[in-house]
Structure 1
Amino acid sequence: MNPPTIKDVAKAADVSVATVSRVLHNLAGYSDKTRQKVMQAVEELGYQPNAIARGLVNKRTQTIGVLFPDVSSSFSSDILRGIEEIAQEKGFSVIVCNTAEEGKRTMKYLQVLREKQVDGIVFTSEVLKDEYFQVIKEMRVPVILVNTMSQKYTIPYVKVDDRQAAYHATDYLIQKGHREIAMLSGSLKDQIAGYPRFEGYRQALADNGIEYDESLVAIGEFELEASRLAMRRLLAEAPSFTALFAASDEMAIGAMRAAFEQGLRIPDDLSIIGYDDLKFARMVYPPLTTIHQPLTMMGRMASEKLIALIEEGSTQVASSIVSHHLVERQTVKSKP
C-alpha cells in the first residue's frame, strides 16, 4: 500500500491541496476549524510531509551535517546524542560523517554535505583548515564548532577551557601531596586540545613551585593502545613519579593497563587522573578520577545555536565556554 499523499489529506479534510500546504507550513489564510480538520486527517491517515516538498516552500532540506574525526568513540557519541536531541525536537534530520583521524576524509564529506544541500554544519574536534572554511563559505550555510575553535575565522563555538581544566587536574594532584607528576599529552602541534592541556599542566606546576621536567612528559595520541605504549616508555625511561595526568580518559586507561602490566597498584603505587569523564571511566577498575566535560550538553547547545542561525536568519550567535568539574573516584590517593 502506497503511503498517503497531500492529495489524500486534502480529500479527507474536504479542502484544497493548497489549504493543506498552508496549514502544514503555518501560513495564514484559513480558519481554526479548517486547521483542525486538516490536522485530524493528517493524524488519521498517518501522513508524513515530504522533506523535499517542504524544502520547495521554505528553501530548506531540514537537515544538518555533523563532522566527527571518529564516530565510533564514546566521546563523539555523547556529543551526537545532544545534537540529535535538539535536532529531533526542531524537526531536523542529522547526517553524520566520519572524517577519520587528521581529517583524511573531511573534504570528501564536505562535498557530500554540499550535494545533500544541508542547512547547516556542526564541525567537531578538529582544526578548521582554510580549505574547509572555503568550502563551507561557498555553501553559504551556517556552521558551529564543538570542542574546537578557530583562531583565524570568527565562527561561534562550544567548548571547555582546556587549559584551565588541565590546570585544575594537575593542581588537584599537587594538593594531594604529589610533586613528581608525569603527563601523557596530545600533540603539541594540536592547538585545540593538545597544547592547551599541556600548558595547563605546566602552569600548575610553576604556580606551585615545581620545576617542569620534559622527561616526565610523553607526547602521544588520544587512543588506548598508543597511550599504553607511551606509558610503558615513561615507566622505563623517565625519572620516578607518583602521579600522572592523562590528557584524555582513553589515555588514562591505556596508562592504567601499562601500569598493571608492570605490577603497579593504582592508586597505592601510582595516582592517575583523566580528562573527559566518558562512560567507561566509571566502569574500569578502579573507577577513574577525571575532569568532566558536559559533552551531551555541549552537543545540545551547538544544535540550538545552529538551528537558530538557520531558522531565524541571524548573522551570528555567541560562543560558549562551558564549565568543567572534577569527578573524584578511586585512582588518586593522597601522598603521605
Structure 2
Amino acid sequence: MSGSPTKRINMSDVARAANVSRPTVSLVLGGNYSTAHISQETRERVLKAASDLGYRRNALAQAVKTGRSFTLGFVSLGVWTEYETLWLLGALDEAEANGYTIKRYRLYNNPGDAQTIERIIEQQLDGMIAADDSRSWATDIVNRQFAAYNIPLVWLDPQKPLHSGVRICPDHEGGSFAAIQHLATLGHRSVAFVGGIQGVGTGVPRLAGFERAAREMGLKTHTRWTDWGLANFDIEDLMSQPDAPTAILCQSDPLALGTIQLLFRSGRRVPQDVSVVGYGDLANMAMMSPPLTTLHVPYTEMGRTAVERLLGLIQSPDTASLDEEIVFPSPLVVRESTLAPTQAAL
C-alpha cells in the first residue's frame, strides 16, 4: 500500500518557519528584497526555511501573477549543427542564471513548419531566439508572426537581410580578411577559397573578406564550391591550375578537414605543400593531424548574449522594434596547418 502523498510546501509554511510575514517571503524568494529594505539576516532566515522545508516555486502561479512564463524559446531554422548546439549551451547558461528555462524547437523547411510556429505562439513564451542557417523559407514568417503577437525576438547570425530587431553575428568578413593576411605574411601569393553553396549563407560574407584581402595584398585567387559534399570537389582540377594555390581558406572547419583529406589522398602534404585554414574553431580542431589553423567564432558567448539582450527586450517592450546588430570578432587561431610555402610550391 502506498504512503500518503507529500504535502506541497507553500509560502505560508515558509513564513511560519522563518517567523516573518508571507509578503516578506514573496519578496525574498522573488529577488525583490533590496527594494523592500529587507535585512540580510531576515533574507538568510527565509532562504534557510525554504531550503529546509523543500519549498519549490509554483511556476504556474508565478506566471498568472506576473503575466510571464519565465520560459524562452530557441528555434532552429534548418539543419541542426554543432555550432547551434554551442549557441544553445550558452543560452541555457544565461537563462538559468536569470531564473528562466528554454524550450527548443526545430523547423524542417516544409509545410509543417507553419504548425510549429503556431504552436510556439500558443504556448505564450516570454521571448524567442531564432538561429537561421539561410536555407529555410521560414525566416520572413517567423519575423512577421512573432512581431504580430508582440513576442520579443533575437536572431543568431541571420543569413537573410533583416532591417529590424536584434541580430547577433560573428565578423565573417573580418575573420576571412585576417586569415588571408596571415597567409600573405607567411609568403603565399596564390590562395583559394573553398565554400559550401555559392551565394548562400556564411559563404557570402566569408568570400567577400577573402576577396577583399587578396585584392589589397595583390594575391592570385581561386574559388571552388562543393555543395557541402567532398564528392563535388575536384582537388586535382584546383591544384593543376596555372598559379595553383599554396594555401586554402575553407568556409568551415568540417570542410577544411575534408579538404586536408583530399590533399593527402592526392599525395600532397599539409602544411608542407599546401596550407589550410578552417572557420569556426569547433571541438577537437586542436587535436586534428595537423592541428587546424582556424578562425574562432565565440558561439557560446553569442548564445549568452542572445538571452541577455532578449531579457532586456522583455523588461523594456518599447525597445522591441529597435534595429541593432551586435558583431563578435572572429580572431585567428594559428596552429600547425599553415606554414610558409616552399620554394618548389611558389
TM above 0.5:
yes
For 1:65, what is the secondary structure of its paired residue? strand
| Counterpart position of 1:250 | 254
1:303 paired with 2:307, answer: yes
User: Which residue, 222, 229, 232 being the options, matches 2:231?
Assistant: 229
Question: In the alignment, residue 217 of structure 2 is paired with which amino acid?
Answer: N
For 2:68, what is the secondary structure of its paired residue? coil
Equivalences for residues 202-213 of structure 1 within 5 A? 202-212=211-221
Structure 1 residue 11, shift from structure 2 partner? 5.4
For 1:156, what is the secondary structure of its paired residue? strand
TM-score norm. by structure 1 comes to 0.85
1:43 paired with 2:47, answer: no
Cα deviation code 1:169-196 (max 9, x no counterpart) = 2232222222332221132332x41211
C-alpha distance 153-5 of structure 1, shift in aligned 2 (>3 A): farther
CA contact (8 A) 1:186 1:195 kept: no
For 2:209, what is the secondary structure of its paired residue? helix
1:193 paired with 2:199, answer: no
1:91 paired with 2:92, answer: no
Structure 1 residue 208, shift from structure 2 partner? 2.2
Structure 1 residue 55, shift from structure 2 partner? 0.6
For 2:335, what is the secondary structure of its paired residue? coil
Structure 1 residue 31, shift from structure 2 partner? 6.5
For 1:41, what is the secondary structure of its paired residue? helix
C-alpha distance 84-187 of structure 1, shift in aligned 2 (>3 A): same
| Counterpart position of 1:320 | 326
Question: In the alignment, residue 200 of structure 1 is paired with which amino acid?
Answer: G
Distance (whole Å) between structure 2 residues aligned to residue 55 and residue 302 of structure 1: 22
CA contact (8 A) 2:159 2:202 kept: no
Cα deviation code 1:290-329 (max 9, x no counterpart) = 1111111111111111111113445146431111211100
Aligned-residue RMSD, C-alpha: 2.9
Distance (whole Å) between structure 1 residues aligned to residue 113 and residue 262 of structure 2: 33
C-alpha distance 104-76 of structure 1, shift in aligned 2 (>3 A): farther
Cα deviation code 1:177-236 (max 9, x no counterpart) = 22332221132332x412111111222222222354xxx322234x5xx1x3244x1324
Structure 1 residue 72, shift from structure 2 partner? 5.3
| Counterpart position of 1:143 | 153
Q: Single out whichever of 27-36 and 112-121 deviates more from structure 2.
A: 27-36
Distance (whole Å) between structure 1 residues aligned to residue 105 and residue 225 of structure 2: 28
C-alpha distance 21-264 of structure 1, shift in aligned 2 (>3 A): same
Question: In the alignment, residue 198 of structure 1 is paired with which amino acid?
Answer: L
1:120 paired with 2:127, answer: yes
Identity fraction in percent: 27
User: Which residue, 88, 100, 112 being the options, matches 1:80?
Assistant: 88
TM-score norm. by structure 2 comes to 0.83
Distance (whole Å) between structure 1 residues aligned to residue 110 and residue 94 of structure 2: 26
Distance (whole Å) between structure 2 residues aligned to residue 141 and residue 165 of structure 1: 33
Distance (whole Å) between structure 1 residues aligned to residue 115 and residue 335 of structure 2: 42
CA contact (8 A) 2:70 2:125 kept: yes
For 2:51, what is the secondary structure of its paired residue? helix
User: Which residue, 338, 343, 346 being the options, matches 1:332?
Assistant: 338
CA contact (8 A) 1:176 1:333 kept: yes
Equivalences for residues 152-167 of structure 1 within 5 A? 152-167=162-177
Distance (whole Å) between structure 2 residues aligned to residue 208 and residue 261 of structure 1: 31
For 2:165, what is the secondary structure of its paired residue? coil
| Counterpart position of 2:72 | 64
C-alpha distance 327-104 of structure 1, shift in aligned 2 (>3 A): farther
Q: How many residues end up aligned between the 2 structures?
A: 326
Distance (whole Å) between structure 2 residues aligned to residue 219 and residue 110 of structure 1: 33
CA contact (8 A) 1:67 1:106 kept: no
CA contact (8 A) 1:122 1:145 kept: yes
Distance (whole Å) between structure 2 residues aligned to residue 285 and residue 108 of structure 1: 45
For 1:172, what is the secondary structure of its paired residue? helix
Question: Structure 1, unaligned stretches of length 5 or more?
Answer: none
